[in-house]
Amino acid sequence: MTDDHKLLLDPALLGPTEGDAGPLLEAVAIQKRYGRNEVLRGVSFGVERGDVKAVLGPSGSGKSTMLRCLALLEPIDAGEVRLEGRTIGVRPSGSRSVRLPERELAHQRSDIGMVFQKFNLFPHLTALGNVMLGLTEVRKRSKADAAQVAGDILERVGLGARAGFYPSELSGGQQQRVAIARALVMNPKVMLFDEPTSALDPELVGEVLAVMEELAREGMTMVVVTHEIGFARKVADRVIMMDEGQIIEDATPDQFFDRPRHERTRRFLEAVH
């Protein structure tokens, strides 16, 4: 890194990294069913401010679902999601809680950034347009303002020259970096990544992981569902293993990868290594 390397995050907006009691984002006993299929059977975990939590597990284990529930994109059947200690996504109704209407959910979602496996960039907007949309539609910034901020952040992920290109004209790695910039520009308190590199050709994975590493280094709170063992080892503060809707292991990277406690974790690691 050169000295004049631009930071991805504005330190002033990051908030204190020490001294906050309790996790920044927390899942408390979350249950979720699709029809008769129980996808999440009581999932509880939290991520501290500034930490990176990696989530591993076989497909069908409920990792993506859990992420979407944390992002308030899916309703939960039981349990709570808490951001900075406050329950979000519901309001009290008598002795129970009901899910907030979409308009208010939308408001709470803007604090949580999400990056998807399939990028989900808006094909009818340029890279710049994609990054700007959240600023103009949600933060109500002026177009000129938004364009400037968006251009800036695209610069920082290394895509300044490509700002005028449409998603169909970008490589997979470039698209995912735009997606990260799009989520980042909203100044989220935490960022969730749902297998961000699984859909990429191997040679493009590196550029995306580099951006994510940089984010972690600068202190962003992240939850990353991934298959990239190397990344998890290097960047994560804790690693969780999910299987069949439950968390079966939660440890530091060293413990997780070298001395896993559970048989299923061991078998999974052998399979992916």
Partner 1 sequence: MNFDPAVFFAALTSQGFRNGALLAIALTFVAQLTAVVIGLVVALLRGSGNRVLRGTGWTYVWIFRAIPTLVQILFVWNALPQLFPALKEDWFSPFIAAWLALSINEGAYMAEIIRSGLLAVDEGQQLAARALGMTPSSVFRRVVLPQVTRVIIPPTANEFITMLKITSLASAISLQELLSYTQTSISITFRFAEYYAAAAIYYLVIVSIFMAFQAWLERRFQWRSQRGESGRLATTLRGLGAR
What are the residues binding partner 1 (CB under 8 A)? 68, 71, 73, 102-103, 106-114, 116, 118, 120-124, 126, 133-134, 137-138, 164-166, 168-169, 179, 182-183, 186
Please say which residue, 165 or 257, places its beta carbon nearer to partner 1: 165
Sheet holding 221-225, edge to edge: 112-115, 190-194, 221-225, 52-56, 238-243, 246-251
Please say which residue, 53 or 109, places its beta carbon nearer to partner 1: 109
Please say which residue, 137 or 201, places its beta carbon nearer to partner 1: 137
Please say which residue, 223 or 248, places its beta carbon nearer to partner 1: 223
Please say which residue, 28 or 73, places its beta carbon nearer to partner 1: 73
Q: How far is the CB of 2 from partner 1 (least distance, A)?
A: 26
Please say which residue, 87 or 108, places its beta carbon nearer to partner 1: 108
Please say which residue, 48 or 74, places its beta carbon nearer to partner 1: 74
Q: How far is the CB of 165 from partner 1 (least distance, A)?
A: 5
| Paired strand residues for 194 | 225
Backbone angles phi, psi at 154, to 5 degrees: -65, -40
Q: How far is the CB of 117 from partner 1 (least distance, A)?
A: 9
What residues have CB less than 8 Å from 24, skipping those under 6 apart? 46, 47, 48, 49, 83, 84, 189, 190, 221
Q: How far is the CB of 215 from partner 1 (least distance, A)?
A: 17
What residues have CB less than 8 Å from 112, skipping those under 6 apart? 25, 70, 71, 72, 83, 188, 189, 190, 191, 192
What residues have CB less than 8 Å from 211, skipping those under 6 apart? 8, 157, 158, 177, 180
